[in-house]
Amino acid sequence: MLPEFEFGDEVRIIRNVRNDGTYPGLSTGALLVRRGSTGFVMNVGTFLQDQLIYTVNFLALNKIVGCREEELIGIDEPWIPSQFESREKVKSRITLTVRGEVRVVPGMEGEILKVFRDENDGVLYHVIFHDQVLQVPEASLAAVHVYKDEESVYA
């Protein structure tokens, strides 16, 4: 198991990281680092002998956080920001149809299953509404919850 990143590499985090209870001074669930933030690798270790954990210094946030390899990309890799991420609750802003049949009405809640950032038409999502999965453009969705954390307020 060889690390993808080394000491001093600049990286970008691709998922929101919240306190799992191990970060001192903040409550469990508090936002530590917002996706898209950049930092520098300080150390590489392992967890349970099968996961690489990178100690990353997010200088702009004045935070040092442990990140799994799958949460990081190199600073030179393409990054397209998205408003939502997997497992977030959203609601439809518009009526969604499949072959002319209404499947989702405005305000219906769903959950993001997957984010597609590299699409030509902008960011797209696989969203499950009740028992059906639809591919939905970002502009057609709204947040169900507005998260309030120490450093930011975002919808």
DSSP string computed for 115-148: EE-S-TTS-EEEEEETTEEEEEEGGGEEESS-EE
pLDDT of residue 154: 42
Could you give the CA distance from residue 58 to residue 64 in angstroms, rounded to a whole number?
A: 6
Provide the phi-psi class of 59: left if phi over 0, else alpha when psi is between -120 and 50, else beta.
Answer: alpha
Nearest to 62 by CA among 150, 131, 145: 150
pLDDT in tens, 123-134: 899 999 999 999
pLDDT of residue 85: 80
Distance in angstroms between the alpha carbons of the first and the last residue of the chain: 38
Residue 143: strand pairing partners: 90
**Whole-number CA gyration radius for the chain:** 18
Any idea which architecture 89-143 has in CATH?
A: Roll (2.30)
The list of the chain residues with pLDDT below 70 reads 119, 146-155
Query: Are 10-74 and 89-143 in the same CATH fold?
Result: yes
Whether the pTM exceeds 0.75: the reply is no
Could you give the CA distance from residue 117 to residue 15 in angstroms, rounded to a whole number?
A: 13
The yes or no reply on domain 10-74 and CATH 1.10.287 is no
pLDDT of residue 148: 54
Question: Residues with Cβ < 8 Å from 10, sequence gap 6 or more?
Answer: 38, 39, 40, 74, 75
DSSP string computed for 34-88: -TT-EEEEEEEEEETTTEEEEEEEEGGGTEEEEEEGGGEEETTS-----S--TT-
pLDDT of residue 150: 45
Q: What are the sequence ranges of the domains in the chain? A: 10-74, 89-143
Could you give the CA distance from residue 57 to residue 140 in angstroms, rounded to a whole number?
A: 35
